[in-house]
Structure 1
Amino acid sequence: MNQKSAPQVVTPTHYFTVLLSADRSGAHRAREHVRRQLLDWGAPCDHDAVAHVVAELAANAVLHGRVPGRDFRLRLKLYGDGGPLRVEVTDARGDRLPRAGDGAAGDAESGRGLLIVEAYAERWGVEEAPAGGKTVWAEVATDREEL
């Protein structure tokens, strides 16, 4: 008899989440929270790279995902044994999906943020979130040998 094993569920070894106001101060606090959390965890990743990713995702949530009276959520998930650090930013505007390079042509003053995310992250994407929102996520390598 051939038995299938149950799919392995990978859970983070460290988890952090916080709601932040969808304004410039919230985006700034997102970067502060991330730096502090990575230090507390002793996370084996490039903290500056993660700060850049968070800065871009939080700025996008404030600029493009803001709905008056609604906050945005920052989540960090650190997976042990060489797994990635996953950064998630959830905002209220699921109707405005990001694409890398939007507006980045020529001498545009905006639209380059996701190019920065692509430069630092192993991969990134967008998922639907509750109440019509979206979650933009990015995974950053934690293997010190790659740093």
Structure 2
Amino acid sequence: MPPALTLELLATPAGVSGVRRALRSHGIDVQLCASELVTNVIRHVGEGVPVTVRVWRDGGLLRLGVTDPDPRALPVLVGAAGSEAESGRGLALLDALAVRWGVEQEAGRKTVWCELFADAGETPERPGRRGSSAGALGHVSARS
């Protein structure tokens, strides 16, 4: 299992590519989820804002967290995106891949996190996956 990893970067399209490369050893699901979460920061908070991406093992799960400086821009899982829609699929992908996901709000920042099976053999399509318990905003916990 790869060691825990923390990446400090600016939310840019090049940064998304760099995150995928840096997380290669953590598996494709972690790469996809991190890519989608950093892309959400670009789209909803702004390009060029500082972002911290963290990955660590928590028991049999890998936990991924993406922290940005806007505690108000919360992710919303929308219904199925239409075939012509240019966006709206990122959180659906995260919801499909993750065991669960959510948001932690703090003064001056938020972290969108998800948990994925650390065993690459246990995927959403295979037995053993627990259903996502995320709702419209995932599990939201606020800290001051």
Q: What TM-score, normalized to structure 1?
A: 0.72
Structure 2 CA distance for aligned equivalents of residues 18 and 102 of structure 1:
31
Residue 85 (str. 1) matches residue 74 (str. 2)? no
User: Counterpart of 1:133?
Assistant: 109
Counterpart selection for 2:13 from 14, 17, 24: 24
Q: Which of structures 1 and 2 has the bigger CA Rg? A: 1
State the 1:33 CA deviation. 1.0
Distance 2:7 2:120 in 1: 27
Show the counterpart of 1:34. Answer: 23
Q: Name the structure, 1 or 2, with higher relative contact order (CA <8 Å, separation 6+).
A: 1
The CA distance in 2 between the partners of 1:27 and 1:17, in whole Å, is 14
2:38 to 29, 41, 58: 58
CA contact (8 A) 2:30 2:116 kept: yes
Task: Provide, for residues 77-133 of structure 1, a one-character-per-residue CA deviation record: whole Å limited to 9, x for no partner.
Answer: 1124xx210010011221110011268356321111000001111000011144x22
- Structure 1 runs (4+) deviating above 3 angstroms are none
Q: Which runs of 5+ in 2 are unaligned?
A: 124-144
Aligned-partner residue type, residue 44 of structure 2: H
Letter in 2 for 1:100: L
Task: Please tell me the residue identity of whatever aligns with 1:22.
Answer: A
Secondary structure in 2 aligned to 1:146?
A: coil
1:71 & 1:49 partners in 2: Cα distance? 23
Looking at structure 1, the residues matched to 47 and 121 of structure 2 have their Cα atoms a distance apart, in angstroms, of 41
Number of residue-to-residue matches in the alignment: 122
Q: Which is strand-richer, 1 or 2?
A: 2
Distance 1:64-1:103 versus aligned 2 partners, 3 A rule: farther
Query: Deviation per CA, 1:60-84, whole angstroms, max 9, x where unpaired?
Result: 122212375x31110001124xx21
What displacement does 1:145 show? Answer: 4.9
* Structure having the larger proportion of residues in helix: 1
Could you tell me the TM-score, scaled by structure 2's length? 0.74
Give the 3-state SS of the residue equivalent to 1:85 in structure 2: strand
SS at match of 2:36: helix
State the identity as a percent.
36
Measured on the aligned residues, the alpha-carbon RMSD in Å equals 2.3
Aligned equivalents of 2:79, 2:52: Cα separation in 1:
23
How far the C-alpha of 1:15 sits from its partner, in A, is 2.2
